[in-house]
Copies of this chain bind each other. A is one copy, B any other.
Amino acid sequence: MTVPTGVSPDRPATIHDVAALCGVAASTVSRALSMPERVNFRTRARIEAAAAQLNYVPNAQAKALSSGRTKAVAVLVADITNPFFFDIIRGTQLQLKAAGYTQLLVDTEESDEVEAITLEQLRQTADGVILTAPRLGDEALARAADKLPLVTINRDIPGIPSVVLDTPTATNQALDHLLSLGHERIAFIAGPDGSSSSQRRWAALSAAAQDRGADVTRLGPFAPRTYSGAAAADAAVHSGATACIVFNDLIAIGMLQRLRERGVRVPTDMSIVGCDDIFGADFCSPPLTTVTAPVEQAGRVAVTMLLGKINPGYGVSPRRHSVVPTHLTIRASTGPVPADRP
Contacts and interface: CB of A to CB of B under 8 A. Distances in A.
A10 interface: yes
Nearest to A285: B285
Given A61-B65, A283-B285, A284-B280, A93 B105 contact: yes
Contacts of A105: 89, 93, 103-105
Contacts of A257: 283
Interface in A253-295: 253, 256-257, 279-280, 283-286
Interface residue range, chain A: 35 or more
A331 interface: no
Given A125-B60, A283-B257, A147 B10 contact: yes
Contact of A61 (B64, B103, B147, B280): B64
A93 B90 CA distance: 16
Contacts of A93: 80, 105-107
A107 B61 CA distance: 22
Q: Which 7 A-B pairs have the closest CB atoms?
A: A285-B285, A280-B280, A61-B64, A105-B105, A61-B65, A60-B125, A80-B90
A323 interface: no
A257 B103 CA distance: 35
Nearest to A120: B57
A123 interface: yes
Nearest to A148: B12
Contact of A90 (B70, B81, B90, B280): B81
Contact of A279 (B10, B59, B97, B280): B280
A215 B215 CA distance: 60
A86 B93 CA distance: 13
Interface string A41-62: 0000000000000010101111
A252 to B, nearest CB: 11
Contact of A107 (B94, B256, B286): B94
A169 interface: no
Contacts of A10: 147
Contacts of A285: 283-286
Interface string A3-23: 000000010100000000000
A217 interface: no
